[in-house]
Every structure is written in structure tokens, then in C-alpha cells.
Amino acid sequence: MQSVVKDRPMLSDHQLALKAVALRRRMLRLIHDAGAGHTGGGLSCLDILNVLYHRVLRVTPGTVDSPTRDRYVQSKGHCVEALYAVLSARGYFPEADLATVCRYQSPYVGHPTRKIRGVEMNTGALGHGLPICLGMALASKMDGDAFRVFTLLGDGELAEGSNWEAAMAAAHYNLDNLVAILDHNTLQITGHTRDVMSNEPLDAKWRAFGWEVRIVDGHDYAALTAALTAPHPGKPLFVIANTVKGKGVSFMENVGKWHHGVPSDAELAQALAELDAAEVKVERVALNALSSGAIQASALGSTRSTSKS
């Protein structure tokens, strides 16, 4: 029952790329100002969230209370700052609210809670999202395939046994309305997942558990969109999104300490400068494609003015 959202025009890859720059800016500023947060894993999953919220999930701020909305549960709840950035950019709550993250009496705590509009479940203890999503997917089936259910897992998180209990049950119940996306950045707190608790070969494991498995570049919008929207009848879908922890900021990429490193003023400035350069590059690539006739002008859209957030 997978298909792309029909209730709004689909953003082009170029528009998504501009949004991604803006979201990274927003997320890094938020972590810097809050003085806490999960930087590396937020940057690694941001393109996935960007695609989910702009192209895949059938939910908007206007339909967030509808019983038939698609559900997204962020199992790797520690990367709430990426989620806050995307939800605020999509209009679920004002960006100004983000100034209160982690402050006294603020509802915006350092992990997702349902007090925040757009957040479906309280997460933060790893290994809870997938079982919850099974329950949601079963409820959807009971109501005649009313909606689809998505979760985002960390690769370190897969060591929790609850994931494998859920993996077994999801295939048992043929939950083809369920999609689990793995943020496969190969790092966790202590270091490389292969050194901490090796979990490969993941594709073979999930296939053996009865899932449809797709492997994509987790920073490629077209590939993510295709993987997340093509149907997978009779089976739950496991998307292994190969990502880079710290993606988009050179000195954070693949560096373990940025798991929950908080950028200093100078580091933030450097990161923002890199993002400015990335934005210019996105524009240049698109203009070249346009002048060579590779894309149409309509593919560029008009997100430039809103991308600076």
C-alpha cells in the first residue's frame, strides 16, 4: 500500500537539498543553544527525516490528530533535535519554541515526548520503537489498512533483543504496512558498532526473519524515496540506509565524539560556514543541470527564500 504523498506537490531533489541545509543549520543552532544534544546521529538521519516528512508520510500539521494518519515513531529518540528541526520547519510548532529545549519547565526535553505536536510516542530508551510500531501496524490492519507505520532505528540500538522479538512478530503477522529504517552510520557511543557488538550481515539477518530488505544511500533523496515507497506485499520492510554520522559538517563526519558533542561558538560558526558553502553548491549544481537541459525550471521550485531558517 506504499505510495508517495498525493496531498501536496512533491518537492524536487533540489528543493530537498536546500531544505536539508536549512534543517542542519536549525539543528546545530538548537544543540549549541541548548548546550546538549545528539549531533552526529542527528546529522546522519536528517536526510531520512527530510524525505519522510516531505515525500512519504501522509501526515501534516492539519491531519496530525486524524486516526488514519501515517505514524512515525523515532526509536532512536536521542536524535530528537533532528526531529524538532524537521517538525518545526513543517509547521507543527513555532521555531521560537526551540529556544526552550532542555530548559526548566520546558516541554521540549532531550528526547521525544507526546507533549510536542507531531510526536507520536515518548521514546529515548532504545529498543522500544519497533514493538510499538508493530502494535500500531496491527491496529491499522484491524481497521482495514488505515495507515502506514514507520520507525527509525540506530545500528547500535539493534543490540537490544526487543528488536529481534519484534522482527519475528512483524513477519509472522505479514505487516506490509510497517517500515523500519536503519540509520546505518556504523558508530555508537563507544566506537564502531563492529567493535562494540557486531551485527552484520544485517541484510541476511532481516531477510531470514522474513522481511523485505532494501539497501540505499541514506543521503540520496531519490533512492530513499524509491526504497520507502515501492510496495512490499505481504512483508514488513527493512530499509538499511547507509549514512555518515555527522553528515554535512566535515569535522564531525565519522568522528565518534560528536555522538553527543555540543559545538562551541567557534565550531558552530565553522559548521554554519560549511553549510553556507553547501547551499551555494546545491544552487550551482541545479543551475548547471538547468542550463544543460538535464532538468526543467519547475524542478528548482522556490524554496530559496524559506531555506534560511
Ligand X SMILES: Cc1ncc(C[n+]2csc(CCOP(=O)(O)OP(=O)(O)O)c2C)c(N)n1
- Which residues contact ligand X by CB under 6 A? 38, 41, 44, 76, 78-79, 124-127, 154-157, 183, 185, 187-189, 245, 259
SS3 301: coil
Q: Give dist(CA 4, CA 174) in Å, integer.
A: 21
**Chosen residue from 64, 138, 146, 189 binding other proteins by CB under 8 A:** 189
The contact mask relative to other proteins for 99-118 (x = CB under 8 A, - = no) is: ---xxxxxx-xxx-x-----
**Chosen residue from 40, 41, 42, 77 binding other proteins by CB under 8 A:** 77
Q: H or E segment at 190?
A: none
**Chosen residue from 185, 225, 243, 307 binding Mg ion by CB under 5 A:** 185
Decide if 92 contacts 85 (C-beta within 8 A). Answer: no
Q: Give dist(CA 35, CA 53) in Å, integer.
A: 26
Task: Tell me if 155 contacts Mg ion by CB under 5 A.
Answer: yes
The residue nearest ligand X at its CB is: 154
Binding to other proteins (CB under 8 A): which residues in 254-293? none
Task: For CA atoms 255, 276, 294, 291, give the dihedral sign.
Answer: negative
For the chain, the distance separating the N- and C-terminal CA atoms, rounded to the nearest angstrom, is 35
Residue span binding other proteins (CB under 8 A) among the ranges 87-95, 156-164, 176-184, 209-217:
156-164
Q: How far is the CB of 253 from ligand X (least distance, A)?
A: 13
Supply 93's cell numbers.
Answer: 510548532
Q: Give dist(CA 7, CA 24) in Å, integer.
A: 26
C-alpha 188: how far from chain center: 17
**Chosen residue from 40, 42, 118, 154 binding Mg ion by CB under 5 A:** 154
Q: Virtual CA dihedral for 118, 120, 121, 122, nearest 10 degrees?
A: 0
Q: How far is the CB of 305 from ligand X (least distance, A)?
A: 32
Q: What does the binding site for other proteins look like in residue numbers (CB under 8 A)? A: 34, 36, 77, 102-107, 109-111, 113, 122-127, 156-157, 159-161, 188-190, 193, 196-197
Contacting positions for Mg ion (CB under 5 A): 154-156, 185, 187-188
